[in-house]
């Protein structure tokens, strides 16, 4: 069954606790938290304190995605705040092997993210260390974009390369394109506007959970 991870980037920032609890009550599997440094991507969002407050508000795993040039500068802060999964970018300006090791030392799952046009070959040697690979289906930084049609082939390539961990996708995912992504090897769907603007998110999540099942 595909996991559904609502992206809080699409929540109402003035009612973040209300909206995230609504997603948990609707049956989501994880909550996805995008952290942006205004350098790696042209936007700025969330602090370790937001993750800490979310950890107090909800019980579902917190899937924290560091869109940062230098994730090592705040790595421990997000680990201390309660991240259950911590993902760093292959395109970051620092080697990832030590960062992944530090994440695992804290008994937290480690992920590697790749932008839509990044060749998975650059992470081949790191793949055995990654619990999750996040394939960005839009250019990271802003919500509401259309899914890049080239990315599903990248998911198939990851499986062909022998990767057996979680494959996650983020950006432009909805009920119409999710079945194709599942066919390509997707395990975790990050969804923003498609969920937070839905009048009955519980019904939608039930339908999404049923996709891809025999």
Task: Name the phi and psi angles at 39, rounded to 5.
Answer: -120, -55
How much is the average pLDDT of 129-144?
A: 83
Q: What is the mean pLDDT of residues 176-181?
A: 93
- 135: domain CATH number? 3.20.20.70
pLDDT at 196 over 70: yes
CB 28 within 8 A of CB 60: yes
Of the two residues 161 and 212, the one the predictor is more confident about is: 161
pLDDT of 214 > 70? The answer is no
What pLDDT band is residue 145 in, cutting at 50, 70 and 90? low
| Count of CB atoms situated within 10 Å of the CB of 86 | 29
Q: How many domains does the chain have?
A: 1
Instruction: For tokens 């959970």, name the residue.
Output: 209
**From the candidates 29, 34, 63, 187, which is the catalytic residue?**
34
Banded model confidence at residue 171, pLDDT cuts 50, 70, 90 = confident
Asked whether the beta carbons of 140 and 41 are under 8 A apart, the reply is yes
Q: Residue 181's pLDDT is what?
A: 94
Residue 164, domain extent: 3-210
| Marked catalytic residue, from 19, 29, 148, 170 | 170
Active site residue 170: yes
The answer to whether residue 34 is catalytic is: yes
Task: Give the residues across from 133 on adjacent strands.
Answer: 112, 167
Q: Under the phi-then-psi rule, with left for phi > 0, alpha for psi from -120 to 50, and beta for the rest, what region is 103?
A: alpha
pLDDT of residue 139: 79
Mean pLDDT to the nearest integer, 17-45: 95
């Amino acid at each position: 069954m595909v996991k559904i991870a609502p992206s809080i980037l699409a929540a109402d920032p003035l009612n973040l606790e209300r909206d995230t609890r609504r997603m948990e009550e609707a049956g989501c599997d994880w909550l996805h938290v995008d952290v942006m440094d205004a350098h790696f991507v042209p936007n700025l969002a969330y602090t370790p304190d937001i993750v800490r407050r979310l950890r107090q508000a909800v019980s579902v795993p917190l899937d924290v995605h560091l869109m940062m040039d230098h994730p090592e500068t705040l790595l421990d802060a997000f680990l201390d705040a309660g991240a259950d999964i911590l993902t760093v970018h292959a395109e970051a300006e620092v080697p990832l092997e030590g960062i992944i090791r530090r994440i695992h030392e804290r008994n937290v799952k480690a992920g590697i993210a790749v932008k839509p046009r990044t060749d998975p070959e650059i992470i081949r040697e790191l793949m055995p260390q990654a619990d999750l690979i996040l394939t960005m289906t839009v250019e990271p930084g802003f919500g509401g974009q259309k899914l890049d049609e080239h990315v599903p082939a990248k998911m198939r390539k990851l499986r062909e390369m022998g990767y057996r961990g979680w494959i996650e996708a983020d950006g432009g995912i909805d009920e119409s394109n999710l079945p194709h992504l599942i066919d390509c090897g997707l395990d975790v769907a990050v969804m923003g506007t498609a969920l937070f603007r839905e009048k009955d998110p519980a019904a939608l999540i039930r339908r999404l959970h049923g996709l891809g099942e025999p």
